[in-house]
Amino acid sequence: MIDLFKRLFKVAFAEWKLFYTDPAAVLLLVVAGVLYAFYYPTPYMKQTATDVPVAVVDLDHTVMSRELTQMSAAAQQIDVRYVFSDVREAEEAMANEKIYGFMVIPQDMEKTLRNGGKTNVNVFTHGAYVMLHGNIGTAFTTCALTVGATTKVKRIALGKKVPAAKAIAMRDPIPISVQTMYNNTGSYSNYVVPSVLVLILQQTLVIGICILGGARAHRKFRKLQRDSSVENELMPYRYFGRSLAYFLHYCSFILFYHFVVYNVFEFPRRGEILPMVAFAIVFLFSVINFGMVLSQVFLRRETSMQLFLYMSIPILFLSNFSWPTELIPAWMKGFSCLLPSTFAIPAWLAIEQRGADIYDAASLLLPLAMQAVFYLLLGLVLTNLRDGSKLKTGDM
Amino acid sequence: MFIDFFRAIRKIYISHNIVLWLVLLILPVVTSVFMVNFFSAEIIQHVPIGLLKQDRSQLADKVEMALRADPVLEVAVECNDRSECEHAVIRGDLQAFVVLPFDMERRALRLETPVIPVYSSGQNYLTNTFAVKEIRSVISSIGADLFTKQMDDPIHVELKSVSNNSGNYQGFLGLGLVTAIFHLAGILAAVYLFSFPFRDHRVREFLKAAGGSRVVLGAATVLPLVVIQWLSMVAVYAYARRALTPMTFDEFVVVSAGQLAMILACSGAGAAFVGITGNMRMSSSVAGVIAGPAFAFAGQTFPVMAMPLVVRGFAFLLPLTHVLKVQSAMLLGSVGKAHAWESIVVLLFMALFWHLLASKLLMLRWKVAEEKEADWEAREKLHLKDKLKNIAGTVYSDLSIRKAVASEIAKRKLHKGGAND
C-alpha cells in the first residue's frame, strides 16, 4: 500500500515539477490563471455605466418639456449633454457617438396633456449597444412616466373629486417593490466575471493537460526523461498520479480566486466550506478527466491551444450565464452536456455568489460527478489504446 | 514571379494538414454560425419565475393569469412558502418570485396600497432587467384596471432601438460576436501560417517554392489568408444580419471595407507576433491573451467610456474596437457613413504598421532560419556519412568474422574427416 502511494506521488511530483519547468506549461498552468483573473475584469472596474451621454430633442419648448429635460438631467444613469430642436441633429450626434440615445418630446405635449389628451414620447437608443439600451431606456422612461403619473393623479383627483392622496392610491393601487438580491448595485463585473473565472480554470486546465500530453508514456518533448521510469510508470499510476498533480495545483487556484481575486474586485463571497470543497473536487475531476480524454487526440502540443481559443466564446454562452437555457436550440443543449462548464458555472454561481448550501448544491453537482466518471472511464480506455499505438508524427 | 507566387501558395495552403484549414476557415465559420444560431430565439422569453400566493382572491387570480399569459415570463413554480421560492432562486431554477400578500385585494379596494414584493436575482443582469420590467408592467396594468379602467396613461413611452426595433439579440450580440470570432481568427491563422515553417524547419523548402524571394513568400502567405477570411466573414455577417433592417449597397460596401481592413490589421499583427517571438507556441499564447478576451474590451457589451483610462487606451489598439464602430455606425444608416470611414482609416493605419513591422522582423527570421537549416542539413549529411562509414565498418568486420568462422568450421570438418579416416 505504501509502495502504491509512493509511486503515485512520485509521478504526481514529477508532473508538478513540469508545470514550472516546461515553458509552454508555465504559461498556461501558472501564468494564464493568474494573469487572466486580473486582466479580464479590468474593463469593468467601475462596475456600472453611469452618466451615459444622451440628448433631448425638445419640440415643445414649454415649462413641462423643460421640467422633463431637467428631470432627465438629474437621473444617475444618463448625462444630458445636448438639447436639440431637430431630430436630425440628434441622429448625427448619435452617429458620431457623441451620444448613445435621445428622447423626443413631441410638439404641443403640454397643450395636449392640459386638454386631457394623451401623447407619445419616443426614446431612441443605439441598436448596437445592449447595455446602454437598457440604461438609457430605464432613465428616460422613468422620467417621462413620472410626469405622466403627476398628470394622471391630477385628472383622477379632478374627475373623481377625491383628495390627492386617494388619487395617488387609485392610480397605482398595488405598487410593487423590487428587491434585487445578490447584485443589488447592478454591477456588470459581478454579472460577468465570476462565470468567466470558472471558464478560465477550465480552459487553462484542459489546454494545459493537452499540451503536456495527458497520461501518455514516452512523451517526445521530454527528450532526456523520455525513457525514465517515472515517465513510463504503469498506466494507472501515470493516469492518477498526473491527475493528482493537476488537482492539487488547481485547488490552489480556487483558493486564490476565492481569497484574493474576489477580494480585490469586491465580489460577494457567500460560499460555505462544505459546498465549496464538494465543488472543487467534482469540478476538477470532471475537467481533468475531460482533458485527459482530449489530450489523446492531438499530435502536436500547440494544436489544442489554437482550437480551444475558438471554443471559449461558445462554451461561455452555453453555460446559461446570460441567455436562458430554454431558449437554446435543443441540439446545442445536448452538445453542452458534454462540457463541464455547462454545469460548473451555474454551480459556482449558486455556491459562491448566492450562498447555496450542500443540499441546494447537490442537484447542481450531480451531473458534474457523472461527467467525471464518464470521462474517467473514457480517458483510461483511450490512454491504454494510445500506449499501444506507435505514432511517428508530432511532438507528443 | 507569378509562377513562383502560385507555387508558393500551393505549397503553403494545399499541401498542408487539416489544422491549417481548421484554424483558417472551418472553426471561425462554424463557431460564428453557432453563435448566431445560439440566439435564434432572438428575444428573451420564458424567464422562469415563482409565485407565492398568500392571497386567494379574484385580484390575485387575475395577477396570476396575467403573469402566466405574458410571453416573457413563465410561472415555473407556485411556492408554498417563501423559503421554497428562495431556494429555487439560489439554485438558479428561478430568476425571480412574486409574493401576492395576504388581504391584497381587500386592502387594494380600501386604497391602502398593499405593496407586492418582487424578489429577483441580480446575478443574471440582463435576464433580470427584462423580467423585472415585465413583472412591473403586468402588475401595474392590472392595478390600473381597478379604479381607472377608462382612463389611459397621459404619456405613453415608446422605446426604440435604432435599426433593431424588437431588441433582437442576434443583432445586439450575434453580430458583435461574429466579428470578435473573426478578429481572433485573423490573428491566430496568421500566427499559424507564418510560424509553421519555423516549427517544421521548412523555411528553405518554402523559400525555394517562392523562387528564393522572401517578398513572394510573404505575399503568398498573407494574401490568400486575407481573401479567404474576408469573404467568409462577409458571408457569415450577411447571414447574421438577415434578421435586422436590410443594408443598402453603400452600407454593405462600407461594412465590408471595414471588415477587410480589420482582417488586414489582424493578419499583420499575427505575423508580427511570430516575428517577435519566433515560434508558434509563444506567438499563439500572445495571440490568445490579446485576442481571446478582446470582445470584453471592444465596448459593445460594456461601454468603453465607462472603462478606466489605461483600458480605454488598450481598447483603442484593438482592431475589433474600430470595426465594431464601423458596424454600429452603419446600423444607423447613411448618417453614420462619415464616422465609419474615420474608423476604417484608423484600421488601415494599424494594418500598415503591423505589416511593416512583421515584414522587417520576418525577413530577419527567415534569413536566420534559412542559414540554420542549411547548417543542419550539412551537419546531417556529415552525420550520415559517419553513420554509413560505421555501418560499412561493422558490415566489413562482420563479414571478416563470418569468413574466419567459416574457414574455422571448414578446418574442423576437415580435421574431423581425417580423424575418421
Q: Tell me, what CATH number does A113's domain have?
A: 3.40.1710.10
pTM beyond 0.95, yes or no: no
Residue-wise pLDDT for B344-373, tens only, equals 999 999 999 999 999 999 999 999 999 998
Give the confidence band of B421 by pLDDT, cuts at 50, 70, 90.
very low
Give the confidence band of B23 by pLDDT, cuts at 50, 70, 90.
very high
Give the confidence band of B242 by pLDDT, cuts at 50, 70, 90.
confident
Residue A180 lies in a domain: no
Could you say which of B113, B119, B315 has the minimum Cβ distance to residue A175? Answer: B113
**CA nearest to B42, candidates B153, B135, B175:** B175
- A193, A279 contact by CB (below 8 A): no
- A113, B154 contact by CB (below 8 A): yes
The pLDDT value recorded for residue B419 is: 53
Chain A positions in Cβ-Cβ contact with residue B109 (cut-off 8 Å): 173
CA B390 to chain centroid, in Å, comes to 55
Q: Last residue of some domain: A171, A205, A232?
A: A171
The pLDDT value recorded for residue B16 is: 64
Is B317 in CB contact (< 8 Å) with chain A?
Answer: no
Q: Are residues A307 and A381 in the same domain?
A: yes
> Mean pLDDT score of chain B, rounded to an integer?
89
CA B82 to chain centroid, in Å, comes to 42
Q: Compute the CA torsion angle B172, B173, B176, B177 (nearest 10 deg).
A: -170
Q: Are residues A242 and A381 in the same domain?
A: yes
Could you say which of A123, A178, A310 has the minimum Cβ distance to residue B120? Answer: A178
Q: Are residues A66 and A136 in the same domain?
A: yes
Residue A394 lies in a domain: no
* Cβ-defined contacts of B238-241 (< 8 Å, 24+): B239/B33, B239/B36, B240/B32, B240/B36, B240/B170, B240/B174, B240/B175, B240/B178, B241/B171, B241/B175
Is B280 in CB contact (< 8 Å) with chain A?
Answer: yes
Strand-pairing partners, residue A56, are: A83, A103
Indicate if the pLDDT at residue B377 is higher than 90. no
Q: How many domains does chain A have?
A: 2
Closest-CA distance, B375 to chain A, in angstroms, reads 22
Q: What are phi and psi of B57, to 5 degrees?
A: -115, 175
Q: Are residues A64 and A151 in the same domain?
A: yes
Indicate if the pLDDT at residue B199 is higher than 50. yes
Residue A30 lies in a domain: yes
Q: Which of A231-240, B277-286, B312-321, B379-388 has the least mean pLDDT?
A: B379-388
- A185, A47 contact by CB (below 8 A): yes
The pLDDT value recorded for residue B392 is: 76
Could you say which of B112, B124, B302 has the minimum Cβ distance to residue A131? Answer: B302
Closest-CA distance, B372 to chain A, in angstroms, reads 20
Nearest-angstrom CA–CA distance, A200 and A212: 18
Q: Are residues A137 and A159 in the same domain?
A: yes
Residue-wise pLDDT for A72-111, tens only, equals 999 988 999 999 999 999 988 988 888 999 999 999 999 9
Q: Are residues A56 and A27 in the same domain?
A: no
Question: Higher pLDDT residue, A369 or A327?
Answer: A369
Chain B positions in Cβ-Cβ contact with residue A32 (cut-off 8 Å): 285, 289
Q: Are residues A197 and A150 in the same domain?
A: no
The pLDDT value recorded for residue A350 is: 95
Chain A positions in Cβ-Cβ contact with residue B323 (cut-off 8 Å): none
Closest-CA distance, B16 to chain A, in angstroms, reads 14
Residue A181 lies in a domain: no
Nearest-angstrom CA–CA distance, B59 and A316: 42
Minimal-distance CA residue of chain B relative to A113: B154
Instruction: State the best of B72, B82, B90, B201 to mutate against chain A, taking most chain A CBs within 10 Å.
Output: B90
**CA nearest to A137, candidates B315, B165, B188, B217:** B165
Q: Are residues A241 and A351 in the same domain?
A: yes
Question: Higher pLDDT residue, B405 or A136?
Answer: A136
Give the confidence band of A275 by pLDDT, cuts at 50, 70, 90.
very high
Q: Which residues of B, range 326-355, sit inside 8 Å of A by Cβ? A: 327-329, 331-332, 335-336, 338-339
Indicate if the pLDDT at residue B416 is higher than 70. no
Residue-wise pLDDT for B66-99, tens only, equals 999 999 999 999 999 999 999 999 999 999 999 9
Residue A167 lies in a domain: yes
Is A215 in CB contact (< 8 Å) with chain B?
Answer: no
Instruction: State the best of A119, A207, A327, A357 to mutate against chain B, taking most chain B CBs within 10 Å.
Output: A327
Q: Are residues A254 and A274 in the same domain?
A: yes
Is B26 in CB contact (< 8 Å) with chain A?
Answer: no
Residue-wise pLDDT for A339-353, tens only, equals 999 999 999 999 999
| Contact between A329 and B104 using a beta-carbon 8 Å cutoff | no
Indicate if the pLDDT at residue B288 is higher than 80. yes
The pLDDT value recorded for residue A3 is: 86
Q: Which residues neighbour B86 within 8 Å (Cβ) at sequence distance 6 or greater?
A: B97, B119
Q: How many Å from the N-terminal Cα to the C-terminal Cα in chain B?
A: 86
Q: Which of A46-50, A128-132, A176-180, B316-320 has the least mean pLDDT?
A: A128-132
Instruction: State the best of A28, A154, A302, A343 to mutate against chain B, taking most chain B CBs within 10 Å.
Output: A302
| Contact between A155 and B74 using a beta-carbon 8 Å cutoff | no
Minimal-distance CA residue of chain B relative to A330: B38
Q: Which residues of A, range 137-196, sit inside 8 Å of B by Cβ? A: 137-138, 140-141, 144-145, 147-148, 151-152, 155-156, 159, 166, 169-184, 186, 188, 190-192
Nearest-angstrom CA–CA distance, B187 and B179: 13
Residue-wise pLDDT for A218-270, tens only, equals 888 877 777 788 888 899 999 999 999 999 999 999 999 999 999 999 898 89
Residue-wise pLDDT for B110-163, tens only, equals 999 999 999 999 888 888 888 999 999 999 999 988 888 778 888 888 888 887
Q: Are residues A287 and A246 in the same domain?
A: yes
Is B147 in CB contact (< 8 Å) with chain A?
Answer: yes
Edge-to-edge strands, sheet with B73-78: A176-181, B116-121, B96-100, B47-53, B73-78
CA angle (B401, B403, B406) in 5-degree steps: 110
Residue A291 lies in a domain: yes
Indicate if the pLDDT at residue A71 is higher than 50. yes
Q: What's the length of chain B?
A: 421
Chain B positions in Cβ-Cβ contact with residue A39 (cut-off 8 Å): 289, 293
The domain of A368 spans 2-44+187-388
Q: Which residues of B, range 71-130, sit inside 8 Å of A by Cβ? A: 74, 87, 89-92, 98, 104, 108-109, 111-129
| Contact between A49 and B308 using a beta-carbon 8 Å cutoff | no
> Mean pLDDT score of chain A, rounded to an integer?
91
Q: Are residues A241 and A349 in the same domain?
A: yes
| Contact between B336 and A306 using a beta-carbon 8 Å cutoff | no
Q: Which residues of A, range 317-336, sit inside 8 Å of B by Cβ? A: 317-318, 320-324, 326-329, 332
Q: Are residues A220 and A368 in the same domain?
A: yes
Chain A positions in Cβ-Cβ contact with residue B324 (cut-off 8 Å): 128
Nearest-angstrom CA–CA distance, B378 and B373: 9
| Contact between B303 and A100 using a beta-carbon 8 Å cutoff | yes
The pLDDT value recorded for residue A116 is: 87
Nearest-angstrom CA–CA distance, A65 and A55: 13
The pLDDT value recorded for residue B420 is: 52
Chain B positions in Cβ-Cβ contact with residue A174 (cut-off 8 Å): 59, 63, 104, 108, 113-116, 139-140, 142-143, 146
Indicate if the pLDDT at residue A281 is higher than 80. yes
